[in-house]
A and B are shown apart, each in its own frame.
Chain A
Amino acid sequence: MMQAIKIGLEIHVAIPTKTKLFCACAAYNEQEPNMSVCPICMGFPGSKPMLNAKALEIAKSVANALHSDMAKTVSFERKVYFYPDLPKSFQITQLSNPVSKGGFIELQGQNKVRIRRIQIEEDPAKILREEDYSLIDFNRSGRPLLEIVTEPDISGIEDLKEFMGEMKSILYYLGIDINAELKADVNISGQGERVEVKNVTGMKNMINAALFEIKRQEAARNSGTAISKETRSYDEAKMATMPMREKESDEEYGIIYEPDLGEYSIESIPVLEPVYASRIAKELAAKHSASEKLIMEQIMFDKNALQLINKFAGMYKINTVVSAIEALKKYNKVLDNAKFESLLMAISKNMFVSGKTIEAIEQGKAIEAGPEIDESLIDSAINSMLSENKGLLRDYGGNPKVFNFVIGQIAKKYNASPRYISTRLNILLPKFVAGKED
């Protein structure tokens, strides 16, 4: 019997503070190795950790955005193990009193992925492996990391992609760039015991590791091999997971309280307001009967785009605004609001914008208005094309390529933007199909 796939994640991302988690060293610098270090992040005898309140503020903001139950006080633990990248031979992390517990991220449909806990901890140093020796760079030692642990509620690759997209967007709006540092442990079960793929770096590898693991487990099940509980690593070059030496359980790290930090009340620490870009896209799409997907594409990871849409959505057609933002991104230069409005007007009138048009706008040149496009003309052209080519509907299986020639022809005839036609087509097609069934 095929079991449902269950994926749970432990995600580590860098918290973007100016200084490290427990000392005043710059957390991010492009300096030479071992230049942003001090007795604290080098673990020198006599040094004590001093908690960076900004890291708590960001962690608390993330907890708030993920609807997680915030702790009143937090404390820290020592996780002891010997490795050259760990200057104190223990990592200061959180176990019994993390920043928050519980929470969720909403996916499309009714899916929710529950969050188990959110905590902060220090990053070890970086080991640079050369052929016959290794070097250690302590610039990274003591950087703040945020760990987000989910329940195993992700039910497949599509869910995983969507979840990570949502996570990335929520974190982006709180100032955290997931691309800067993303390390994850991916737990996958479905064909037997839980398998953990440790230390997967980056979103692409996470997805590839999960893909590989699902296929491997399916194949094993089909050949009658039992999937046993194990820890695996991911080889980026081979795009495959490999068995790893059994990991020690948490308890075997000999964890004790970190007595140098004590308990911190975090109740008075302010949080940043969360932004749920996908929810905003949904609402805008419904309100303006526009394509949710197109809006999402523009605003998930772009604060400026969201700001422009919020400002101009009431004044112009939302599709016009979205097209303008898209054109602007391709142009790769930021225009001030006045110039952006000129761009919007041009798009409203011309429906076709090139880099040259934007350049002209930027230089303050008046844009020559092209012929007004009658939008109803485009809609009726689409409708008549659909009626005339009933075979198209039969072939339509969600494959947009089928309509490429429809779009191309209309674009040519009316000097209209293919993108705009495609948008209208996406709106009109379901109506057309529904009309036929009536």
Chain B
Amino acid sequence: MNSIEEFYSLDKKPDYAEAFLEDLSELNSRLNAFLNISKISGQNYPFSVKDNICVKNVETTASSKILRAYLPPFNATVVERMLSKNFDFLGKTNMDEFGFGTFGLNSDRVPRNPFNEDYVAGGSSSGAAIATAVLKYHIAIAESTGGSISAPSAFCGVVGFTPTYGAVSRHGLIDYANSLDKIGLMSRSAKDIRHVFDIIKGPDNYDSTCIDIGKRKIPESETQKNTIFLINQINGFLDEDVKSHFSGLVSKLENMGFAIKTIDFSLLDKAIPTYYIISMAEASTNLARYTGFKYGSKNNEFSHDYNSFFTESRSNFGTEAKRRIILGTFVRGASVKSRYYGKALKVRGLLISKMKEILKQGFILSPTMPILTPKIEDANSLTPMQNYGLDILTIPPNLSGFPHVSFPYDYDKGLPMGAQLISDHFNDYSLLDFVENWENAFEYKFKYNLGSV
């Protein structure tokens, strides 16, 4: 039984009246999981929505000042599908501005790790992961471009599932990088994710890149299901503590009957520049529309000339957004485009085919993050390049559109650790099968269980 079925089978539903909202608001004032919270009936299972996904008439800003007070006139397809299945919308979750970040620190309200508030919650889907870690009954609609589901899921000790690119409609998702953005889910169990994934996936008349993965599922062999590849090149990037915890996981999996193999993937270090060039190039075009002209906050008089009006409005972007606009505009500029954007597209193609060769034979497994959960102050003092470098493990499947899942496998000084499993395109369910199997032998720990009976 998944916790959604459990919820509906409860004799007495959790009390979602004032007391619950007060508790949640109090906790939220410290952890900054939610940007806004809605009252819910308590009759239906609650879900939260990352703030870059549109909910009709609910402030949706992607954590950016430039969209302050923006009320979307329509629901994202995922939201529409959740509401049609009688899930209750609980609130919008905090994130790095437009999804630009690994730790959640590019938000005005710093998200904190629910296991220890001095530590980061991870990003960019920070609030989704925190909410999942503190609420007993809840599922989070999150989104990943380069690791925004895996990273916070690992740091907050929850399951974070990023489907095959195109499996879930992006209609209503505020674009970061359209060829990379994927809506996914976070929960306390793979069973819940399977239940909700079935509801939100599938073709949509409002997103032409959205496909039916059910019809495209590639038949798996038994070997593929039971083989796990470890990439040799990853070792050089891992902290010693992470290495030792991870080798414990590998032994456990071996004991569970998985064949563990090592393999070379020499292109690994090319994934970061490739990802950042493509994502910034696309992001800089996506952010071009925010001119303070038609929606969001208008902090200028229309009497200005166009250029100064646009420029002043666009000063509302945060530092990281400005950095990505400038770099993204640079890499698609006439004189350098073939050296950066053009080359990145080629390398991306190569990365996909090389990874696919491996994934045809089995899963790829690695720690989700190469480091232990950092303290907020330490993460804040990283340079942008150091920060981007920490995405080394989450970028490859994101850049290639492969489905992947981050699941908690251990705890270090009370803080959870996550591992990331990657599968071939359209083999999304094999990941959920794997995690369900893993959950039989693993005990989740949570500090908070708000909304439990």
Task: Give me the interface of A with B, judged by CB distance under 8 Å.
Answer: 39, 42-51, 78, 80, 82-84, 87-90, 133, 249, 251-252, 254-257, 259-262
Question: Is A46 a contact of B294 with CB atoms below 8 Å?
Answer: no
* In the complex, number of A-B residue pairs with CB atoms less than 8 Å apart: 102
Of the candidates A43, A47, A255, A257, the one having the most CB atoms from chain B within 10 angstroms of its own CB is A47
B289 contact from A43, A252, A255, Cβ within 8 A: A43
Kindly state the separation between the CA atoms of A88 and B178 in the bound complex, as whole angstroms. Answer: 14
Asked if B205 CB lies within 8 Å of chain A CBs, one says yes
Please name all residues of chain A whose beta carbon is closer than 8 Å to the beta carbon of B341 when the two chains form the complex.
256
Q: Are A46 and B205 in contact (CB under 8 A)?
A: no
Segment from B8-16, B66-74, B259-267, B373-381 that makes contact with A: B66-74
Contact in complex: A252, B334 (CB < 8 Å) = yes
How distant is the Cα of A87 from the Cα of B73 in the complex, in angstroms? 16
**Contact indicator A84/B208 (Cβ below 8 Å):** no
Q: Is the CB of B306 within 8 A of A83?
A: yes
- Band of interface residues on B: 35 or more
Other A-B contacts than A44-B73, A82-B307, 19 sampled, CB-CB below 8 A, are: A45-B67, A45-B72, A45-B295, A46-B60, A46-B74, A46-B172, A48-B171, A80-B284, A80-B285, A82-B291, A84-B306, A87-B294, A90-B288, A249-B334, A251-B337, A254-B284, A256-B282, A257-B179, A259-B179
B3 within 8 A of A: no
Instruction: Determine whether B388 belongs to the interface, using a CB cutoff of 8 Å to chain A.
Output: no
Evaluate contact between A82 and B288: CB separation under 8 angstroms: yes
Q: Which residues of A contact B282 (CB under 8 A)?
A: 256, 259
Contact assessment for B281 and A256 in the assembled complex, using a CB-CB cutoff below 8 Å: yes
Quick one: which of A42, A46, A87, A254 contacts B285, CB cutoff 8 A?
A254
Q: Which residues of B contact A83 (CB under 8 A)?
A: 306
Q: B207 at interface (Cβ–Cβ under 8 A)?
A: yes
Near A by CB (< 8 A), chain B positions 70-86 give: 70, 72-74, 76
A50 to B207, CA, bound (A): 7
- Using a CB–CB cutoff of 8 Å, the interface residues on chain B facing chain A are 53-54, 60, 62, 67, 70, 72-74, 76, 170-175, 177-179, 205-209, 281-282, 284-285, 288-289, 291, 293-295, 302, 306-307, 310, 329, 332-334, 337, 341, 345
Nearest CB to that of B181 among chain A residues?
A: A259
The contact sample of 8 A-B pairs, CB cut-off 8 A, is: A45-B295, A50-B206, A78-B285, A82-B306, A87-B289, A254-B329, A256-B281, A256-B341
Give the nearest-CB partner of B303 in chain A: A133
Cα of A257 to Cα of B54 in the assembled complex, Å: 25
Please determine whether B332 and A48 come into contact, CB atoms closer than 8 angstroms.
no
- B127–chain A nearest beta-carbon distance, Å: 18
Quick check: B62 and A45 within 8 Å, CB to CB?
Answer: yes
Complex Cα gap A232–B159 (Å): 61
Given the known interface contacts A46-B173, A82-B310, A88-B289, the answer about A39 and B74 at a Cβ–Cβ threshold of 8 Å is yes
**Shortest distance in angstroms between A139's beta carbon and chain B's nearest beta carbon?**
15
A67 CB, nearest partner CB in chain B, Å: 30
Check A261/B208 contact, CB under 8 A, given A90-B285, A256-B341: yes
Q: Which 6 A-B pairs have the closest CB atoms?
A: A251-B334, A89-B288, A259-B179, A259-B178, A46-B172, A45-B174
Closest chain B residue to A88 by CB distance? Answer: B289
